Structure 1
Amino acid sequence: MMMVAGSAFVAKDLVLGYATGSVKQEDLIVPAAEQQGRHVTISGAKNILLMGIDPRPGQDPSEAIRSDSIIILHIPASHDQAYLVSIPRDTWVKIPKFDNGRKSYPGGHDKINGAFAVGGLGTTGKEQRKFGVTLLADTIKENWGVTFDAAAIIDFTGFQNVVNVLGGVDMYVDQEVKSVHIGHDAKGNTKVPYIQRDNGRGGTELIPIAGVTPQTYRVGFQHLEPWQALDYVRQRETLPNSDYDRQRHQQQFIKALFKQILSKDVLTDPGKLKKVLDVIGQSMTIDSGGIGLDDWIFAMKGISGENLLTIKTNNGTFYSSSENPGAEALDPTTLDLLAAIKGNTVQSFMQEHTNLISS
């Protein structure tokens, strides 16, 4: 019995060691110990800042990158549930002053997705990621008082490789979505279906290209091929609620991937699990906040795809900013939600606002 138990512990350590070793780790935010002057432990409620980027192929590495999606992952102290809360990328906010050593920013107002870009100005690579995420986290704290224990950057282009290894992703398409990026002509050739032009009002005008039918995703359970999954989570121009619908689809995509990675088909196949962990490591950059990744994995073992809830901000619709009509603001209920995240009372808040849970 002792020998069997010992083998089990060795196997666990090997798997955890490989999983944690395959993930790219960098300093993205000030560690929690420095922020709050206390010893960091895995106990208690946790907030993780997830930031999605979707850089263009061949983009100049020194060029400013705006965050494509901003998600707060809140985990209550019970560690038996998790909540994904998106901050609309066009939310008008106060960005605090910041100096990354290369460029200084005097502080001002902008859309929140500009915080990452401003923070990393004049830098590339690790520095760009570190300063960009730091200023984004500072901006969220400045406006709503929410602080973070860890952070991660998700490269949506890189995540296509995760879906490649999984052989596609199974998810529910909750509304008909037409692609503005991929279409097909009568001969089956892949072509761009629309010409996109700035309409002068902060939006995009779509001009259909004759003879090209856009790739369309129908309502219902779908098995999306890797290229389809990436295309699907990028769409917003043809959707009635624009970025809100895209936020929801990105949350659903992350949840679907999470469930598929934790399925027995992956966890019981060492070769497949190794490949999945490898490509996840290439597609994510993680700051564990001074807590070992093995501690994170162990503490969150009770969270599955079923109790990872995706939450709608602004009830899933555009809420105009009174300061800048071309931008957005957060409605009173969403402000209360962020206050609940700050005060670690999200579970009771959600019991009274079940309508905010995306189906």
Structure 2
Amino acid sequence: MAMWTAHHWSDMAVKTGAPWWAHLMMYAGGLTMVVAGGTAAVAQFASTTAENAVPQENILGDAQAEVEEIKGPLNILVLGVDKQGDSTRSDTMILVHINEDLTETTMVSLPRDLWVEIPDCGPGYSNNPCENKINHSASISGDWEVTRPNVVQTIFDLTGVEFHMGATVDFEGFLGLVDMVGEIELCPWHEIQSIHGEKRTFPEGCAMYDKDESLDLIRQRYGWYWDSDWEEGRGGDYGRQAMQQQAIKSLLKAFKEEGYLTDPGKLTDILEGFGDSLTIDKPDEWTVTDLAVNLRDIDPESITSVQVPSTPDKTTLDGTPVDIVMTHEGAEQEAADALWAALQNDTLDQWMTQYPEWVKTPGKTSTETPTGAAEESASATTD
């Protein structure tokens, strides 16, 4: 394959907020601690409320590690799902690693266009294996019971990482919580034109947005194709991830300002407000509140993000040109193999020292004008 050099893709490193499901765990633990000085009946109510607020399902299958006690290191697989009618697909795949001391967390987001081997490529391939974008593994059926194990097996085949816990997240359902605070603040680093529905224009800088506006903005990815976006590591889908992280932080800030995080009654409203937008897969011996208490020393603001060693490329699929992300043989493959081993062996500190180019760094606010990259990528065939 010919290397695509239209953009510099070095999605380098920033300390970023935790995924919202992790904050739910912390909220549950916080609720337990708030009522710890009260009666046993109140404490039991808090624990039961937290446990019942989080539906459980079998997510990991054979990729689940054998574990009994809640102790580090832990690897957690998070699948962001898009529910449309009776169909469910996964459009976000994140590997979360917590170190042995349960004090430090690293997030590895798998690019949705990452070119990988998929064990079941769907009816169009007679359900045989193929090479395709990783998000194709989630499009083989509208039945989540069929696609979910295919997604998990694809990730397990790629990384060899065994997971202690899994979670699925309906981000649109989560954004419904914006209704509880009315509006949240979002700060696009340059003007962006929506490709959805009302075709809104979001100006550069911070502004308050309601649920519909927020959801529209955090779903955008084709607008983040300026040269400066790629140089800052926020191009394409990585720009969308950055806006999602902003939404999470802004919502948490709003909840804190309105007293949701210190009032047990309001905190229960949050837990119940999640509905079925979060499901988890955890050992039966673990409770949500026990997990939260064990993870209480994690600072959400110190969570590190890592990019899978890879760069943009092009290929053809059924005769159609397709933009992809690929881990190329040589230095990238060496770094990727070392990353999967570091996740499994709890040696990410050493890995980040050896491969700092794949650890994210904050980008500066864009002031440059866009190039034709957005039009080029938006016209490409994607899953």
TM-score if structure 2 supplies the norm length? Answer: 0.69
Question: Is 1:356 aligned with 2:365?
Answer: no
1:279 matched residue in structure 2: 273
Letter in 1 for 2:266: K
Asked which structure has the greater RCO (Cα within 8 Å, sep 6+), the reply is: 2
Aligned residue for 1:105, secondary structure, equals coil
- After TM superposition, list the pairs within 5 Å mapping 1:129-278 onto structure 2: 130-170=145-185, 172-182=187-197, 192-193=198-199, 214-220=200-206, 222-240=207-225, 241-257=235-251, 265-278=259-272
Rounded Cα–Cα distance in structure 2 between residues aligned with 1:349 and 1:249: 27
Question: Is 1:70 aligned with 2:85?
Answer: no
User: Would you say the 8 A contact 1:337–1:349 is kept in 2?
Assistant: yes
Cα displacement (A) at 1:321? 5.9
List, as ranges, runs of 4+ consecutive aligned residues in structure 1 with deviation greater than 4 Å.
255-264, 321-325
Root mean square deviation of aligned Cα? 3.3
Deviates more, 1:330-339 or 1:138-147: 330-339
1:94 matched residue in structure 2: 117
Rounded Cα–Cα distance in structure 2 between residues aligned with 1:43 and 1:263: 33
Cα displacement (A) at 1:31? 6.9
Rounded Cα–Cα distance in structure 1 between residues aligned with 2:343 and 2:202: 37
1:320 corresponds, among 302, 306, 313, to 313
Cα displacement (A) at 1:8? 5.4
2:81 matched residue in structure 1: 53
Question: Is 1:303 aligned with 2:294?
Answer: no
1:109 matched residue in structure 2: 131
User: Would you say the 8 A contact 1:23–1:285 is kept in 2?
Assistant: yes
Q: Could you list the per-position Cα deviations for residues 266-297 of structure 1 after superposition, in whole angstroms to 9, with x for gaps in the alignment? A: 12223321221112233112212433222211
TM-score if structure 1 supplies the norm length? Answer: 0.73
Rounded Cα–Cα distance in structure 1 between residues aligned with 2:222 and 2:139: 22
2:53 corresponds, among 22, 26, 29, to 22
- Runs of 5+ unmatched residues, structure 1: 183-191, 194-213
Rounded Cα–Cα distance in structure 1 between residues aligned with 2:254 and 2:69: 29
Q: Could you list the per-position Cα deviations for residues 42-84 of structure 1 after superposition, in whole angstroms to 9, with x for gaps in the alignment? A: 112112111112334xx3x1x5x44221111221121112222
- Runs of 5+ unmatched residues, structure 2: 1-34, 226-234, 363-383
% same residue: 29
Letter in 2 for 1:320: D
Rounded Cα–Cα distance in structure 1 between residues aligned with 2:292 and 2:126: 38
Structure 1 residues 285 and 223, CA, compared in 2 at 3 Å: closer, same or farther? same
2:348 matched residue in structure 1: 346
Q: What is the aligned residue count?
A: 306
User: Would you say the 8 A contact 2:312–2:323 is kept in 1?
Assistant: no
